[in-house]
Amino acid sequence: MKVLVTGGTGYIGSHTCVELLQNGDEVIIADNLYNSKPEVVERIASISGKAPVFYEADVTDKAAIRKIFAEHQIDAVIHFAAYKAVGESCKIPLRYYRNNLDSALTLLECMQEAGCKNIVFSSSATVYGPNNPVPYVEEMPTYVATNPYGWTKVMIEQILRDISTADPEFSAVLLRYFNPIGAHESGLLGDDPSGIPNNLMPYVVRVASGQLEKLTMYGDDYDTPDGSCVRDYLHVVDLAKGHLKALDYAVNHKGAEAVNLGTGNGLSVFELVDAFEASTGVKVNRVVGPRRDGDLPQIWAGTEKAEKLLGWHAEKTVEEMCRDSWNFVVKSRE
Residues tagged active-site: 149
Least separation in angstroms between CB 86 and ligand UFG: 5
**125: contact with ligand UFG by CB under 6 A:** yes
Q: 26 has which bridge partners?
A: 2
SS3 268: strand
**265: contact with ligand UFG by CB under 6 A:** no
CA distance 47 to 160: 33
Count how many Cα atoms sit within 13 Å of the Cα of residue 60 in the half-sphere of its side chain: 12
Instruction: Specify whether the CB–CB gap between 278 and 204 falls below 8 A.
Output: no
SS3 70: helix
Based on CB atoms, which residue is closest to ligand UFG, 216 or 317?
216
Q: Dihedrals φ, ψ of 259, to 5°?
A: -140, 130
Based on CB atoms, which residue is closest to ligand UFG, 61 or 295?
295
Within residues 154-213, the interface with ligand UFG by CB under 6 A covers: 179, 198-200, 203
Least separation in angstroms between CB 149 and ligand UFG: 7
Based on CB atoms, which residue is closest to ligand UFG, 141 or 311?
141
Instruction: Give Cα separations from 113 to 11, 94, 103 (angstroms).
Output: 29, 28, 15
Least separation in angstroms between CB 242 and ligand UFG: 16
**270: contact with ligand UFG by CB under 6 A:** no
Strands 267-268, 230-231: pairing is antiparallel
Within residues 10-49, the interface with ligand UFG by CB under 6 A covers: none
Least separation in angstroms between CB 257 and ligand UFG: 19
**269: contact with ligand UFG by CB under 6 A:** yes
Kindly give, in sequence order, each residue whose CB lies less than 8 Å from that of residue 21, ignoring residues fewer than 6 positions away: 27, 44, 45, 48, 49, 50, 52
**84: contact with ligand UFG by CB under 6 A:** yes
Kindly tell me which residue out of 165, 216, 285, 317 binds ligand UFG, with binding defined by CB under 6 A: 216
Name the residues that contact ligand UFG, by CB under 6 A. 84, 86, 124-126, 150, 179, 198-200, 203, 215-218, 229, 231, 269, 292, 295, 299
